[in-house]
Structure 1
């Protein structure tokens, strides 16, 4: 009996001295941070974060267990992952969230952001097309340009299915992502579903952008590197320029087309998950890529961009496999050389 009384007294004393469980007010983790601190952590300033939150559907999840994660916190988890590329357990720890909850939030919010691509990833038409042509021409005098197209490799872990298809020519697993940009570094087209072993020219040939140009929906041309076929709407450089005009043509094309490589640098500098290896399967990695592209465009449109001191990541020259095949745009290319260079 004495032992039972002693244990009872010990439990009673423990209950009297135990601190009651406290839940942090997690509705707005930004309130204690300066704007620059918010930007360093999430790659956007508070006003833009709230704007992005307003674009998303209701993220609240009614539950009878504990306290549900506020929508703002769910968005911040996703932005934190995109900004750092860290594993989910570290992302969760940074905001006092469990690894499993962080993973669920990141996947859900990324899916909602990717669904905004139809609104924010749009190829220029009408007045926007005319403005793009003027701005591209001002760079190096290349006429009638609507965009610069190229592919970049996004590193992923070894996938479970069709593993060999995702090994690129450099020997690592990746997605080969095609993007097109305008003169302001806004991405106007994105195709993120192809494995790393697929050639750039095949991705373009089977893309909706190529079909639109072939059907005459756009009045202008694209600029690409020697990995693409030269077509009447896609200009590529001369491999061996024989005349001074052809050399000037090549120089103008390279000076203009470098914008898409700079766009890749800006995108991967802002969202380091695209620069590091993504530990997810290809379909989910493709969703993350498109979500980052949407956020990239939102940041530029709202003026919430990287400062000059952040700089670019060095452009990655993916021009390792030249296109071999029919070039039905040779006559158009020679016409441009004769009349503009």
Structure 2
């Protein structure tokens, strides 16, 4: 029976015991330590696990470490996590600053430090023909659809940017009417990028309605080695109809006949699908690549940094994002096939698909 002189409602002792047993212990985390979270939270925010972030922090520490601890300077881990959050989300700098409890200017400086540091490792993590022996790469490609002697797949993708000021603004408009940077990528069978060619400036116009990929190949310094191919790696590249067929660079038949040529085209499409998967994983892992609101030269540095991070994530077997199906870009065939390219294509059809 409750006492009439006490206004508080009585609490049963049993209920109090149950509350005490099921009470969730509060955990006060250090805001200065971005790694004081579960792995699932870190992957969602930064696209890397705790071990992956520690690896990147150790790798970049000599390049991004603050020279002083005055004015509560950011630690290397904080600087790396700020940049990774921007790469992963692609949001505005002030939003990243609000999430990390720092100012917008500090976010801008941290991101710049990190992408310039990652740029130094382009030749370490983006290597042609691969980090493994060429024979392993060929076997990996052959296991996909039975296409022989393939050492890489190549294609181009456009990274949208904001319209740059100045007289060269029109040179960045692609054939879809969007300001973008044309990026040519070569990848392996495990979706690691092997070569990157970024075209940021007016010397390589983007407006190439029919043969934009072919022109990228002719203008990129990386592709010049293949234009004078001497068989150093004894392998071939696969491309789509936006490229001309060469001895080292095979493309589909524009109008295949039923039988061997159709089987050749189907095997080539399945084999080079890895480059489309690479683009999909790259843009899903780093959402900033779906639209960069920076100047073209800085956009190119960010693209290169994301390429290095993508290879690090792939090599370390980090969790891969779910890739959305990309629409097929209908390209008109480029009728510049070389006789040596047609002969190499016919030879592969005869030896591997004439059954």
Q: TM-score normalised by the shorter chain: which range applies? A: 0.7 to 0.9
Alpha-carbon distance change, 108 to 184 in structure 1, aligned in 2, over 3 angstroms: same
Secondary structure at the aligned position of 1:188 is classed as strand
Q: Which residue of 1 aligns with 2:294?
A: 280
Q: Which residue of 2 aligns with 1:15?
A: none
Q: Which residue of 1 aligns with 2:46?
A: 42
TM-score, structure 1 as length reference: 0.87
- State which of 292, 307, 318 in structure 1 corresponds to 2:306: 292
Q: Which residue of 1 aligns with 2:65?
A: 60
Residues 1-341 of structure 1 aligned to structure 2 (within 5 Å): 27-31=32-36, 33-56=37-60, 57-63=62-68, 66-124=71-129, 128-161=133-166, 162-194=168-200, 196-197=206-207, 199-213=212-226, 214-216=228-230, 217-275=232-290, 277-306=291-320, 310-328=321-339, 329-341=341-353
Q: Given that residues 153 and 274 in structure 2 are in contact (C-alpha distance below 8 angstroms), is that contact kept between their aligned partners in structure 1?
A: yes
Instruction: For 1:223 and 1:330, locate their aligned partners in 2 and report how far apart those are by CA, in whole Å.
Output: 14
Q: Given that residues 43 and 83 in structure 1 are in contact (C-alpha distance below 8 angstroms), is that contact kept between their aligned partners in structure 2?
A: yes
Q: Given that residues 124 and 146 in structure 1 are in contact (C-alpha distance below 8 angstroms), is that contact kept between their aligned partners in structure 2?
A: yes
Instruction: For 2:131 and 2:309, locate their aligned partners in 1 and report how far apart those are by CA, in whole Å.
Output: 24
Q: Given that residues 152 and 186 in structure 2 are in contact (C-alpha distance below 8 angstroms), is that contact kept between their aligned partners in structure 1?
A: yes
**Which is further off, 198-207 or 90-99?**
198-207
Secondary structure at the aligned position of 1:197 is classed as coil
State the Cα deviation string for residues 122-160 of structure 1 (Å, max 9, x = none): 012696210010111111111100010000010000011
TM-score, structure 2 as length reference: 0.84
Q: Given that residues 130 and 188 in structure 2 are in contact (C-alpha distance below 8 angstroms), is that contact kept between their aligned partners in structure 1?
A: no
Q: Given that residues 63 and 117 in structure 2 are in contact (C-alpha distance below 8 angstroms), is that contact kept between their aligned partners in structure 1?
A: no
Q: Given that residues 35 and 42 in structure 2 are in contact (C-alpha distance below 8 angstroms), is that contact kept between their aligned partners in structure 1?
A: yes
Q: CA deviation at 1:321?
A: 4.5
Alpha-carbon distance change, 152 to 126 in structure 1, aligned in 2, over 3 angstroms: closer
Show structure 2 runs of 5+ residues with no match.
Answer: 1-28
Instruction: For 1:130 and 1:62, locate their aligned partners in 2 and report how far apart those are by CA, in whole Å.
Output: 46
Please report the RMSD computed on the Cα atoms of aligned residues, expressed in angstroms.
Answer: 1.9
Alpha-carbon distance change, 84 to 126 in structure 1, aligned in 2, over 3 angstroms: closer
Alpha-carbon distance change, 334 to 108 in structure 1, aligned in 2, over 3 angstroms: same
Secondary structure at the aligned position of 2:133 is classed as helix
Secondary structure at the aligned position of 1:179 is classed as strand
**Which is further off, 319-328 or 187-196?**
319-328
Secondary structure at the aligned position of 1:61 is classed as coil
Alpha-carbon distance change, 243 to 136 in structure 1, aligned in 2, over 3 angstroms: same
Alpha-carbon distance change, 174 to 27 in structure 1, aligned in 2, over 3 angstroms: same
Instruction: For 2:67 and 2:193, locate their aligned partners in 1 and report how far apart those are by CA, in whole Å.
Output: 36
Q: How many residues align?
A: 313
Q: Given that residues 132 and 146 in structure 1 are in contact (C-alpha distance below 8 angstroms), is that contact kept between their aligned partners in structure 2?
A: yes
Alpha-carbon distance change, 243 to 324 in structure 1, aligned in 2, over 3 angstroms: same
**Which is further off, 151-160 or 192-201?**
192-201
Alpha-carbon distance change, 135 to 101 in structure 1, aligned in 2, over 3 angstroms: same
State the Cα deviation string for residues 212-269 of structure 1 (Å, max 9, x = none): 2223232100000000010000100011012410000000000111110011001111
Q: CA deviation at 1:54?
A: 1.2
Instruction: For 1:251 and 1:215, locate their aligned partners in 2 and report how far apart those are by CA, in whole Å.
Output: 26
Alpha-carbon distance change, 318 to 26 in structure 1, aligned in 2, over 3 angstroms: same
Alpha-carbon distance change, 225 to 177 in structure 1, aligned in 2, over 3 angstroms: same
